[in-house]
Chains A and B, each alone.
Chain A
Amino acid sequence: MIRIDVDMDKCQHYGQCVFEAPEVFQLNADDKLEYVAEAPDEMLGDLEAAADVCPMQAILITKA
């Protein structure tokens, strides 16, 4: 499994991550980020891409 942590003090809810891994990241109706904290290993590429495009560099991906 892969663990996903978003530093919510840093996150500005830009939603760039949503386009790389919509299964994990979403903007809710109030334009606030929601995400799931764990994902299967096959998603590593997409999750790294999401971490790369985050303007605040708020996403931490770790292999659990």
Chain B
Amino acid sequence: MDAPLLIVGASMAGLRTAEGARRAGYSGPIRFLGAEEHAPYNRPPLSKELLQTPGHGHAEVAFPIRSALEEGVEWMLGRPATALDTARQVVTDARGDEHAYSALVIATGLRPKPLPIDGHGLTGIHVLRTIDDAVALRDSLRPGANVVILGSGFVGCEIAATAAKNGATVSIVTQSRVPLERALGPLLGAEMRRRHEAHGVRFFCGESLFGLVGDPAVERVILTSGVMLECDVLVVAVGSDPNTEWLQGSGLDVSDGVLVDGGLRAIGVDGTVHPQIFAVGDVARYPNPLFDDVARRVEHWNLPTETGKRAGQLIAAQLAGDDCEPLAAAGFAPLPSFWSDQYDAHVLAFGMTYLADRSELVAGSLDDECIVEYYRGDALVGVCGIGMRGAVQAYRSKFAVPARQ
């Protein structure tokens, strides 16, 4: 039997790649190797609906499996990959079993960065990436609980909003000057702070953790300024690291995620392209000609789908023995898009707002519905709206690959 298309990481990006390969004509075997016990599910509700709805579990967030994947697909779940041998074309899993591949997809995503100080084994400390994390956190977010969130990115702010709505006492501790500073800039960041404060959330900006007090569960946290906060639940939401340990020594460039070319094909430390190895979703680092030629990891929900579709096309061509070069050379310029729900603010953005050196309010008013544009020099690199969906959507056409000189 032919070796299967092997997809490591059974989540959104892996699923979309399998669908993309099928759509592009690949009808051979597919095998998923996934660290989690769960079939692919959607993560955004984990910090929103699922976190506030008792009883909601995997069924409420599972992705539907389309008919194209009903046959010829093997799901090997609860089996993390531990090593890749590109010369022999095999992946080893945690049981020591080897999996040969015809083409390999790396879709192992990210995991939360750990507590930056010694936790002394205290309980009551949480992170949020998986459904198991979400259920554990939900059970501890009781009304009246003192919740301290370390970090003020999207995940931290969404957890804060959900916890505050549930009647918890919420504090956000962050090194930034305003929440969501990197993604939304000072203008909208300050406005999001105002909205959180209106719901009782307290901010400790320019701060970090110095120490923890409690036994066996955390009871108080001490900040670097010396401030002490009551704390029953500590959530660590200070960003993520790529899951690439299993690729150490494989010869691929995994210095910050998996470096890939415009065809999402992995690039080795020696600069050569591996035509059978692809990386998709949050773990992939690739240049986007809409903005520049710098390879970046981008952690937005629409990109697992975009990268999966694109990799699927190349995989089908590669496994059919076609010449992939023209497809790969055609370039890959997906428009990143993200959204966030906090209280009644529905934030929707396009582009790479975090590349901007300035932002400007162009419509509406900050404390209501509004649109903010983001510029790097004179170039529009992003747009973000609170509400005003139609007008924000209309910006999509403003992002285009500059014509070659």
Contact = CB atoms under 8 A, between A and B. Distances in A.
Nearest to A18: B393
Interface residues of A, number: 17
A16 B301 CA distance: 12
Contact of A12 (B302, B341, B388, B396): B341
Given A16-B302, A45-B23, A48-B66, 17 more contacts: A12-B339, A14-B348, A14-B389, A15-B390, A15-B393, A16-B337, A18-B393, A19-B396, A27-B389, A27-B390, A31-B387, A31-B389, A52-B16, A53-B302, A55-B44, A57-B63, A60-B64
Interface of A: 12-16, 18-19, 27, 31, 45, 48, 51-53, 55, 57, 60
Contacts of B61: 57
A55 B339 contact: yes
A52 B305 CA distance: 7
Contacts of A12: 339, 341, 346
A12 B45 CA distance: 13
A60 B305 CA distance: 17
Contacts of B341: 12
Interface string B295-317: 00000011001000000000000
Contact of B339 (A14, A45, A48, A51): A14
Interface in B17-52: 23, 42, 44
A46 to B, nearest CB: 12
B393 A57 contact: no
Contacts of B44: 55
21 contacts: A12-B339, A12-B341, A13-B389, A14-B389, A15-B390, A15-B393, A16-B302, A19-B393, A19-B396, A27-B390, A31-B390, A48-B66, A51-B64, A52-B16, A52-B305, A53-B305, A55-B44, A55-B339, A57-B42, A57-B61, A60-B64
